[in-house]
């Protein structure tokens, strides 16, 4: 394979879904994506379980699931969530695609891929993306590259989006930063040599979280008036992204292949599943009543639940800050009110508790593993886990009668690797329209997502996979997974594939001549890496800013 000097371009479209793209293609609004569908290969790309940005892009980069690559969530470990220890690139325990390519002497350009901050040393350059703290200047490798980017585009932010609430301003912001970042991308591609170039466009994820009801007329919040107001700008964003696809198509030659991928798909979000309330109703999560003030206990005796008190306080905001400043103000107030209104968890009586919403799981409070564990391993653990799984499977929406949970798993059924012990004991996938939440003041297990400023769309498992080029076949393919992307790219570049990956080479994506003249070579490597010791110190302000952005996307209650 060494005689073939192949180049690969990867364009990542965060959250892109064929549910949105195909109807736009049918209206001839996305000619460049349509060209790939007609001339190349395309199909759904199965994401991680659960399908969230942090876990999924790292799975793409490493060819491994989170049990091996170590990024389980937006936090370093489940216990770090309360303390605000944010996950970053130093947490990754496996070699990334750009590290492998650098090791083989390939020149790489990596721009705006999530979970790449702090930037690692590569044979080429790296500009970090989503989850880079605002205001940081150390987001490039080499460090002097930042000055060159600013010379070219004037302003640059690796993670610029501020998801306060759905508005024209948010759409204008998306258009502005997609243009700015693409200006930087094209300058970097022209100025610095590369064998592999990859960038991720984050804007579609932002748009779909907040404007899904405009894209989906079956959404409970769909409004013809609102759709007419916002759709021109929404479609402009999609057409702008398609023009970037067109620029990448212009790079194709006899030795360059193009892959267009997303980390997950999208669907509607209209109903919360309050996981801690579910566990509380089962008697498995217990709150200390003594943690509440006498005033709150008196109100509760009068039938005023903590959630009702919280909602009333937010509704009667005397300065109308929640309306003026949007989603984050409500989130900040809500967190403070949660602390005041709900008692502390009684760990001596709690047998199970929710993981974060973006880990979609439940932990058993296990002796010997958890600091305040009370459940014995063995028979008690097995029986309790089976009980919770059965109740999850039976859970119905009291309003619609719909099943809330799509699937329930034991963690060892879907994960493997040295990080499995850190993952939830029970993992669940939500049915269409439902989104997990861990609000301690919730009054109902299943409740509508408020309409003002909250998300309308959520991640779904099926992302997109498209490829075109001299070595690529034609037609629809099935069964592609996000962990298959890294080994497939290595094969496309004529390089050996590490033998310890969870993914496989998507041979069906390649044209017959390339498959016949190339065989997959495997390289034995040590399973996993120790991960880097993070020397990245985040200020309280930076942590708050990252948490604010995650809150705006519905990832924090």
340 assigned to some structural domain? yes
b/e string for 345-362 if b means 16 or more Cβ within 10 A? bebeebbbbbbbbbbbbb
Check whether residue 210 and residue 281 sit in a common domain: no
Strand partners, 298: none
The per-residue pLDDT for 75 is 82
Query: What's the DSSP call for residue 366?
Result: B
User: Radius of gyration over alpha carbons of the chain, in Å?
Assistant: 24
* pTM across the whole model: 0.89
Give how many domains the chain has, as a whole number: 2
Burial of 196 (0-12, 13-18, 19+ CB in 10 A): buried
312 assigned to some structural domain? yes
The per-residue pLDDT for 333 is 47
Check whether residue 77 and residue 223 sit in a common domain: yes
118 assigned to some structural domain? yes
Check whether residue 510 and residue 369 sit in a common domain: no
Under 8 Å between Cβ of 375 and 383 = no
Check whether residue 308 and residue 348 sit in a common domain: yes
347 assigned to some structural domain? yes
User: What are the pLDDT tens digits along the chain (557 aa)?
Assistant: 444 689 999 999 999 999 999 999 999 999 999 999 999 999 999 999 999 999 999 999 999 999 999 999 988 766 654 555 788 999 999 999 999 999 999 999 999 999 999 999 999 999 999 999 888 999 999 999 999 999 999 999 999 987 667 789 899 999 999 999 999 999 999 999 999 999 999 999 999 999 999 999 999 999 999 999 999 999 999 999 999 999 999 999 999 999 999 999 999 999 999 999 999 999 999 998 755 555 555 555 555 455 555 555 544 444 444 444 443 344 444 545 554 555 688 999 999 999 989 999 999 999 999 989 999 999 999 999 999 999 999 999 999 999 999 999 999 999 999 999 999 999 999 999 999 998 888 889 999 998 876 799 999 999 999 999 999 999 999 999 999 999 999 999 999 999 999 999 999 999 999 999 999 999 987 554 544 444 566 666 665 666 656 665 665 55
Give first-to-last CA distance, the chain, whole Å: 51
The structure tokens 């040295």 sit at 418
Check whether residue 232 and residue 362 sit in a common domain: no
Q: Where are the beta strands (DSSP E) in 151-206?
A: 196-201
Check whether residue 323 and residue 239 sit in a common domain: no
The per-residue pLDDT for 452 is 72
Measured CA to CA, the distance from residue 249 to residue 35 in angstroms comes to: 9
451 assigned to some structural domain? yes
Question: Considering 420, 455, 490, which residue would you say is the last residue of a domain?
Answer: 455
Under 8 Å between Cβ of 192 and 149 = no
The per-residue pLDDT for 86 is 83
Residues near 357 by Cβ (< 8 Å), separated by ≥ 6? 275, 435, 436, 437, 438, 554, 555, 556, 557
Domain holding 176, by residue range, is 7-264+461-551
The per-residue pLDDT for 453 is 65
556 assigned to some structural domain? no
Query: In this structure, what is the dihedral angle of CA atoms 342, 347, 353, 359, given to the nearest 10 degrees?
Result: 100
- The CATH number of the domain holding residue 119 is 3.40.720.10
385 assigned to some structural domain? yes
Strand partners, 436: 273
Check whether residue 239 and residue 287 sit in a common domain: no
Check whether residue 279 and residue 228 sit in a common domain: no
The per-residue pLDDT for 300 is 52
3-state secondary structure (DSSP) of residue 177: helix
557 assigned to some structural domain? no
Strand partners, 261: 12, 465
Check whether residue 111 and residue 196 sit in a common domain: yes
Nearest Cα residue to 195 out of 142, 140, 125: 125
Under 8 Å between Cβ of 219 and 432 = no
Torsions phi, psi for 147 (to 5 deg): -60, -40
Measured CA to CA, the distance from residue 302 to residue 297 in angstroms comes to: 9
Question: Considering 455, 483, 500, which residue would you say is the last residue of a domain?
Answer: 455
Under 8 Å between Cβ of 125 and 141 = yes
Check whether residue 375 and residue 436 sit in a common domain: yes
Measured CA to CA, the distance from residue 292 to residue 143 in angstroms comes to: 50
Residue 2 tokens read as 């060494």
Question: Considering 455, 474, 492, which residue would you say is the last residue of a domain?
Answer: 455
Q: What is the bridge-based pairing of β-strands 124-128 and 140-141?
A: antiparallel
Check whether residue 395 and residue 501 sit in a common domain: no
Check whether residue 390 and residue 421 sit in a common domain: yes
DSSP states of 7-34: EEEEEEETT--HHHHHHHHHTTS-HHHH
């Amino acid at each position: 394979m060494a005689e073939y000097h192949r180049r690969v371009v990867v364009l990542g479209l965060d959250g892109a879904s064929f549910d949105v793209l195909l109807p736009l293609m049918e209206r001839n609004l996305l000619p460049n994506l349509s060209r790939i569908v007609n001339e190349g290969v395309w199909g759904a790309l199965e994401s991680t379980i659960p399908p969230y940005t942090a876990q999924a892009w790292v799975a793409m980069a490493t060819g491994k699931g989170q049990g091996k690559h170590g990024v389980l969530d937006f936090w370093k470990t489940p216990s770090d969530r309360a303390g605000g220890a944010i996950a970053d690139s130093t947490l990754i325990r496996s070699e990334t695609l750009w590290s492998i390519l650098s090791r083989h002497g390939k020149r790489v350009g990596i721009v705006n891929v999530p979970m790449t901050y702090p930037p690692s040393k590569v044979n080429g350059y790296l500009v970090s993306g989503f989850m880079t703290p605002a205001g940081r200047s150390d987001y490039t490798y080499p460090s002097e590259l930042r000055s060159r980017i600013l010379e070219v585009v004037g302003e640059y932010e690796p993670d610029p989006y501020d998801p306060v609430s759905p508005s024209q301003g948010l759409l204008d912001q998306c258009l502005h930063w997609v243009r700015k970042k693409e200006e930087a991308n094209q300058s970097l591609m022209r100025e610095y040599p590369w064998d592999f170039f990859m960038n991720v466009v984050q804007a579609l994820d932002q748009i779909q979280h907040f404007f899904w009801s405009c894209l989906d007329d079956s959404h409970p919040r769909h409004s013809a008036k609102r759709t007419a107001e916002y759709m021109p700008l929404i479609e402009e964003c999609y057409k702008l992204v398609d023009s970037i696809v067109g620029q990448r198509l212009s790079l194709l030659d006899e030795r360059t292949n193009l892959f267009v991928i997303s980390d997950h798909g999208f669907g509607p979000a209209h109903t919360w599943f309050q996981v801690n309330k579910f566990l509380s109703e089962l008697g498995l999560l217990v709150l200390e009543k003594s943690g509440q003030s006498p005033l709150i206990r008196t109100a509760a005796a009068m039938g005023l639940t903590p959630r009702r008190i919280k909602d009333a306080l937010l509704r009667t905001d005397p300065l109308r800050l929640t309306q003026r400043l949007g989603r984050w103000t409500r989130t900040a107030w809500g967190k403070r009110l949660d602390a005041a209104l709900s008692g502390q968890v009684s760990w001596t009586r709690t047998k199970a508790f929710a993981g974060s919403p973006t880990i979609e799981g439940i932990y058993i409070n296990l002796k010997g593993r958890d600091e305040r564990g009370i459940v014995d391993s063995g028979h008690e653990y097995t029986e309790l886990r089976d009980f919770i799984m059965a109740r999850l499977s039976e859970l119905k929406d009291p309003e619609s009668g719909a099943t809330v949970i799509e699937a329930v798993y034991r963690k060892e059924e879907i994960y493997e690797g040295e990080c499995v012990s850190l993952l939830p004991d029970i993992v669940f996938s939500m049915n269409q329209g439902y989104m997990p939440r861990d609000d301690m003041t919730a009054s109902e297990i299943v409740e509508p997502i408020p309409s003002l400023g909250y998300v309308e769309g959520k991640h779904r498992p099926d992302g997109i996979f498209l490829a075109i080029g001299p070595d690529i076949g034609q037609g629809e393919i099935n069964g592609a997974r996000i962990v298959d992307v890294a080994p497939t790219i290595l094969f496309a570049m004529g390089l050996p594939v590490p033998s310890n990956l969870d993914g496989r080479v998507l041979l069906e994506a390649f044209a017959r001549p390339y498959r016949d003249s190339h065989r997959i070579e495997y390289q034995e490597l040590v399973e996993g890496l120790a991960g880097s010791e993070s020397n990245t110190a985040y200020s309280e302000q930076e942590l708050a800013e990252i948490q604010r952005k995650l809150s705006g996307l519905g990832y924090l209650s």
